[in-house]
Chain A
């Protein structure tokens, strides 16, 4: 078996959900590794764009923030925040966008918290804030979410709801005025979670080698259906080569 790190596993797992023709709304970190790797592996005709307005950047070096000058290099157009969010709100273009994001907390319907732990007005921990994720999560029909699999992050009730997932399940999202689609998968350092087609509740669909369903449940504050879980295919040596040699040769995001 090929050796790989969990970051590599997460990035490669995500590339498998990026399809040819997708317009990938990307942050930095692992989400960017996934989007860049997908272009070399499964989705050569996918397009990466950033909330800052850089569209189809030629990423010769990894940007370390979405405001990084590297996202401005040889784009199809250097736009603005107003442009990038309109692309997602506009149904002609927005229906092609898959959003990739992370958060501090997630609940069973894929709703996300990026603002605070504790009371909003006197928080125990203050995070960066919502950024553009609430808009992406509202507009697009498919999101891929990255999370660390920990009890304090998979919570029954969010301390603050920043980005809407499936809200309270069933058709609550559409009824609220949000796009019809929503979170597709949650990719963690231990597993891949999906959502039930009808109830929109989180389910376990894949475990990484070395983890049982029970071990995954032990890292969550709520129970999920595990009957559909299969073992996730490990990264191939070619996938790892692309990730390590082409996408992040300096291991700026992959780390040690």
Chain B
């Protein structure tokens, strides 16, 4: 949230200003699509520590944030990457090694938790997960909850329908609001005032964005304010929700950005292989993050040929006929 008409920042500046050590952070996108990868890499490059991540099915971005040691605890629904990693390799390793505290929810629960945060409500109810271990097993202990003011006192609660059986409903599961310190999303278009346009599925980006104290939007293109306001029906977020607009073309790579480029099956497959070995993974972090100054260096390293290979076909929004047999 920021009332100003000048939002454009460099990625380095946006991350150092809004992503502080220990921050409660959420990232947008879904598995292999519109993950804010450039921002995740910059967080890793700046060696942020002790982050508390809240996501639904974030996939690629969180696996690297976890693998690089930036994250100490996570609330999530799913940490896989579709066919490219049925379970995030670094996520699995961190949990099994006892290096990452996890609290599990479902995708709808996480969505409603962000929506409650966006609406200024303490919780929202739903009619799912009764009698499951999502309700019975808590990842964060009661003492940990008491000690951390960013954690609600309970994971969730089963409540009676206050309207006496109305809508054929006796009980509800109430899930607590999440209000991140900062949310980062990657969008196709934004203007300098902060108006954002997401093309294709929005997942829960809108709810995550509005629930957050601060919002960083990385985007493929900065569009003129006039142009964005000529067709406001296509816009996704009002400018005052946004703290920083960062021009980061190819900023979702190696995940996809609908209408711009596809995911890179080769990079994702190689990532999964490298992530299985600590030494190889460290070399990957060095090669693609630590040895580079910024996102522009990363784009240069990936190279034009690779971006051309995954360039979206305007008719389909993805790279039609892309070789995905890897």
- Which residues of A are interface residues toward B (Cβ below 8 A)? 28-29, 51-54, 60-61, 63-73, 78-82, 85, 89, 91, 115, 120-135, 137-139, 160-164, 167, 172, 176-178, 250-253
Q: Which residues of B contact A63 (CB under 8 A)?
A: 82
A177–B170 CB distance below 8 A:
yes
Given A80-B206, A132-B78, A162-B133, 8 more pairs with CB closer than 8 A: A64-B32, A65-B32, A67-B59, A79-B201, A120-B139, A131-B107, A138-B127, A162-B134
Question: Which of A89, A122, A161 touches B127 (beta carbons < 8 Å)?
Answer: A89
Q: Which residues of A contact B169 (CB under 8 A)?
A: 177
User: How many chain B residues have a CB neighbour from A under 8 Å?
Assistant: 72
CA distance A80 to B91 in the complex (A): 25
B312–A85 CB distance below 8 A:
no
Q: Which residue of A lies closest to B56 (CB)?
A: A81
A54–B106 CB distance below 8 A:
no
Q: Which residue of B lies closest to A127 (CB)?
A: B87
Question: Which of A78, A115, A164 touches B104 (beta carbons < 8 Å)?
Answer: A115
Q: Given A80-B201, A178-B130, A85 and B59 touching (CB < 8 A)?
A: no
Q: Given A134-B134, A135-B107, A177-B127, A73 and B80 touching (CB < 8 A)?
A: no
CA distance A204 to B195 in the complex (A): 57
CA distance A129 to B110 in the complex (A): 13
CA distance A125 to B104 in the complex (A): 15
Confirm or deny: B129 has a beta carbon within 8 angstroms of a beta carbon on chain A: yes
29 pairs, CB–CB < 8 Å, chain A vs chain B = A53-B202, A53-B203, A60-B316, A65-B30, A65-B31, A68-B256, A69-B258, A79-B202, A80-B111, A80-B201, A82-B111, A115-B104, A120-B137, A122-B98, A125-B96, A127-B86, A129-B77, A131-B80, A132-B77, A132-B108, A134-B134, A135-B128, A137-B128, A138-B130, A162-B133, A164-B129, A167-B131, A177-B171, A250-B325
Confirm or deny: B95 has a beta carbon within 8 angstroms of a beta carbon on chain A: yes
B107–A67 CB distance below 8 A:
no
CA distance A71 to B80 in the complex (A): 18
Mark interface residues in B132-150 (1 if CB within 8 Å of A CB, else 0): 1110110100000000000
Q: Which residue of B lies closest to A86 (CB)?
A: B108
Confirm or deny: B68 has a beta carbon within 8 angstroms of a beta carbon on chain A: no
Question: Which of A70, A126, A176 touches B87 (beta carbons < 8 Å)?
Answer: A126
A252–B133 CB distance below 8 A:
no
Q: Which residues of A contact B134 (CB under 8 A)?
A: 130, 134, 162
Confirm or deny: B320 has a beta carbon within 8 angstroms of a beta carbon on chain A: yes
A164–B130 CB distance below 8 A:
yes
- Pick from A29, A52, A123, A125 the residue with the most CB of B within 10 Å: A52
Mark interface residues in B215-233 (1 if CB within 8 Å of A CB, else 0): 0000000000000000000
